[in-house]
Amino acid sequence: DTAVSQTPKYLVTQMGNDKSIKCEQNLGHDTMYWYKQDSKKFLKIMFSYNNKELIINETVPNRFSPKSPDKAHLNLHINSLELGDSAVYFCASSSDSAGQPQHFGDGTRLSIL
Amino acid sequence: EDQVTQSPEALRLQEGESSSLNCSYTVSGLRGLFWYRQDPGKGPEFLFTLYSAGEEKEKERLKATLTKKESFLHITAPKPEDSATYLCAVGSNYQLIWGAGTKLIIKP
């Protein structure tokens, strides 16, 4: 059983389109995260939710909107995609918002044409 | 400002050649130091958590140590399958602060 699963694994789309990435965790964790990993492999936090409430909202364009229907799911919707949005997006979860290890999905590689 | 710096950026070793990776940090209120391994096309895989200076953790050929300013990941007699990017992160308030990683290549 995959602990943190993301779909789709690959996403190729045109500039200006709207797309969503889904994430689910079956670890019973309270906190979920979205990260962006750029071409230099640096992980940058985008959002964090604890029990469906937003607790971290880093400086991210408002074209990015997270949604947490329940504490096992955290989806990411992106409007009006731009070339600079091309990256790998990772979902993660942990049992605490700090002090506990985060467990990651295998990422969604987003390519904007 | 909370910050994590990893060195070297890349390290090439022969199989069996032991070495260490460094993670230095400045953080107000450390809530754990975390080591991860990331393989190409995969998400980071959790290895260790260290919470206090002097603590050590081991797993197969890997051993992580922690001081008040830095952590080391020691790799003893590495094998080609240990090749990966190793990431370090420190817990601070509500998030992890990540280093840029060390890419480790073990040549047979």
Per residue in A82-111, pLDDT (tens digit) is 999 999 999 999 987 677 889 999 999 999
- Rounded to an integer, the average pLDDT of A2-28 is 95
- Rounded to an integer, the average pLDDT of B75-96 is 93
Using the beta-carbon criterion (under 8 Å), do A55 and B101 form an inter-chain contact? no
Using the beta-carbon criterion (under 8 Å), do B46 and A56 form an inter-chain contact? no
Is the pLDDT at B107 greater than 80? The verdict is yes
* Cβ neighbours of A105 in B, within 8 Å: 43
- Are A90 and B43 spatial neighbours (Cβ–Cβ below 8 Å)? yes
Residue A83, SS3 per DSSP: helix
In this complex, is the C-beta atom of A77 within 8 Å of any C-beta atom belonging to chain B? no
Residue A77, SS3 per DSSP: strand
Residues B12, B19: Cα–Cα separation, whole Å: 10
Tens of pLDDT, residue by residue over A38-79, are: 887 789 999 998 888 888 777 789 999 999 999 899 999 999
Indicate the residue of B43, B94, B100 with minimum beta-carbon distance to A41. B100
Cα–chain-centroid distance for residue A25? 12
- Are B107 and B80 spatial neighbours (Cβ–Cβ below 8 Å)? yes
* Cβ neighbours of B98 in A, within 8 Å: 42-44
